[in-house]
Amino acid sequence: MTSANVLALLGGAPVRTRPFQAWPQFDREEFGALSDVLESRRWGGIHNGSQGESFESTLARYLGAPHVSTVSSGTAALMIALRALGIGPGDEVVVPALTYVATATAVSLAGAVPVFADIDPDTHTLSSSSLKAALSERTKAVICVHLGGHPADMDSLGTVAAAHGIPLIEDCAQSLGASWNGIKTGALGTIATFSFATTKNITAGEGGAVVTHDAGLATRIASLRDHGRPPGSPHGHHELGWNLRLSEFQSALLRVQLGRLDQQLAAKEKSAVYLSSSLSGIPGLRLIPPPAAIDPRVTAHARFSFAFTLDIDTADDSVGTISPDTFRRALRAEGIPVSVRTLTACPDEPLYADPTSCDHSPSQTSAAAQARTACASLILLGQAAGSGMLLDHPTELADVVRAVEKIYDNSHHLRQHPPNPPASTAH
């Protein structure tokens, strides 16, 4: 066997040594935007310039929703959304068991109880039947998450929420640019929240936004981020608020980044189509079908990640016989920037699973079996793994296919000798 045939994890030569595209992306426009803000000496807060409002109105137009308030993070956006809706101690809020932990901790930070409901195994988004089972007379809201950029089923979730008389909050941290039935995520629910943290579809390192169609809610949101000061009024603090504002530097960066978004989404979609079709023949891999094949109402996917799972049930000649942890490490060793972290379903995070960690509201779990199965076998490529690789041309992404095929060809080695990770590939 030549070194090229030996898995890199077992000492062979890796499939790829060149980097893929980096994330985040920037060019001269970002330099210009930042130096304009510097020279203006209006950097934010009480010395605001026009960058914040300019980005807010650009994002509002992009989303097709009238009111956008920028805030300092996606978590801040969720906290403000919950507070604006009057949610607090004694209330329950249903959240999916598979999401970034902040969806749930924002509920706990409001003093309310997150109630975990399960996901649909095909889309990894909140299941409406599981939502229904999780409702109680204390349920005051539901947060759905467009995970990985795949829009949740807003029709059936909206029907359940409306029947129960509660608002539907969209956590769009991973879905800027996605659309459902031709409407952008963020313009579909009562309130929507965005994150502009480093891995997200547009970024200023940190940042977030709260979006709504409701003018009354929009006023509360703008006041809550600004010490409880009603927007446009320089004096008087009318309610308990925070300083969760965004700086002018961040708004300036985000406006430039938003201008590049649609072109990036088109490139990432091409990559996803290529990877789905090229990887589909490998036994033991379960590709998430193209969104439109699952549901024609998914009119755009935001491609925060390209996700697939290992089908752990399949027999013998299959990558499904390799442990997902070993598979991830083998893929990374071949030069493919995959996240080697095993995801944890939210109810299993130490914060919620350990009954002695009680510095927050307790949680309840109504169902999480599908979320746990997905966590155990999920492989994530793209920004979710900190890489801009989905912006690369399919000729570059052919290395991903070669690496997975190489692991498949060598799967018997990984089954027999589950190797320890060399220090350099640990991440």
Angle at 189 between CA 188 and CA 193, to 5 degrees: 100
Q: How many residues does the chain have?
A: 427
Binding mask 41-80 for ligand PLP (x = CB under 6 A): --------------------------------xxx-----
Smallest gap from Cβ 101 to ligand PLP, in A, equals 8
CB of 238 to ligand PLP, least distance (A): 26
How far apart CA 403 and CA 231 sit, in angstroms, is 54
The residue with its CB nearest to ligand PLP is: 74
Nearer to ligand PLP, 48 or 198 (CB): 198
Rg (C-alpha) for the chain, rounded Å, is 22
| Closest to ligand PLP by CB, 219 or 344 | 344
Helix (H) or strand (E) holding 128: helix 128-134
Provide the minimum distance between the beta carbon of 106 and ligand PLP in the complex, in angstroms, as a whole number: 8
* Contact between 24 and ligand PLP per CB under 6 A: no
Element (H, E) at 406: helix 394-409
DSSP label of 416: H
Closest CA to 11 of 23, 3, 2: 3
Give backbone dihedrals phi and psi of 117, rounded to 5 degrees, phi first: -115, 165
Half-sphere exposure of 144 (CA within 13 A, CB side): 35
Q: Shortest Cβ distance from residue 29 to ligand PLP (Å)? A: 23
Q: Token pair for residue 237?
A: 């603090």
In 3D, which of 112, 160, 114, 111 has the Cα closest to residue 133?
160
Q: Is 175 in the site for ligand PLP (CB under 6 A)?
A: no
Give the integer Cα–Cα distance in Å for 160 and 157.
5
Instruction: Count Cα neighbours of 318 within 13 Å in the Cβ-side half-sphere.
Output: 17
Task: In angstroms, give the least distance from the CB of 6 to ligand PLP.
Answer: 37
Alpha-carbon distance 210 to 191, whole Å? 7
Build a one-symbol-per-residue string for 86-115: x at contacts with ligand PLP by CB under 6 A, - elsewhere. -------------xx-xx------------
Q: Which of residues 230-259 bind ligand PLP (CB under 6 A)?
A: none
Kindly state whether residue 145 participates in binding ligand PLP, applying the rule CB under 6 A.
yes
Q: Give the integer Cα–Cα distance in Å for 209 and 91.
A: 24
Of the residues 125, 127, 128, 195, which one makes contact with ligand PLP according to CB under 6 A: 195
Distances (CA, A) of 40 to 51, 58, 203, 262: 11, 21, 22, 29
Among residues 69 and 195, whose Cβ is nearest to ligand PLP? Answer: 195
CB of 208 to ligand PLP, least distance (A): 5
Pick from 170, 171, 392, 399: which binds ligand PLP (CB under 6 A)? Answer: 171
In the complex with ligand PLP, which residue's Cβ is closer, 103 or 278? Answer: 103
Distance, in Å, from the CA atom of 166 to the CA atom of 189, rounded to the nearest integer, reads 11
Residue count at the site for ligand PLP (CB under 6 A)?
14
Contact (CB, 8 A) for 397 and 275: yes
In angstroms, give the least distance from the CB of 69 to ligand PLP: 15
Q: How far is the CB of 127 from ligand PLP (least distance, A)?
A: 17
Toward ligand PLP, which CB reaches closer, 195 or 366? 195
Which of 12, 96, 208, 291 touches ligand PLP (CB under 6 A)?
A: 208
> Which residues would be at the binding site for ligand PLP (CB under 6 A)?
73-75, 99-100, 102-103, 145, 171, 173-174, 195, 197, 208
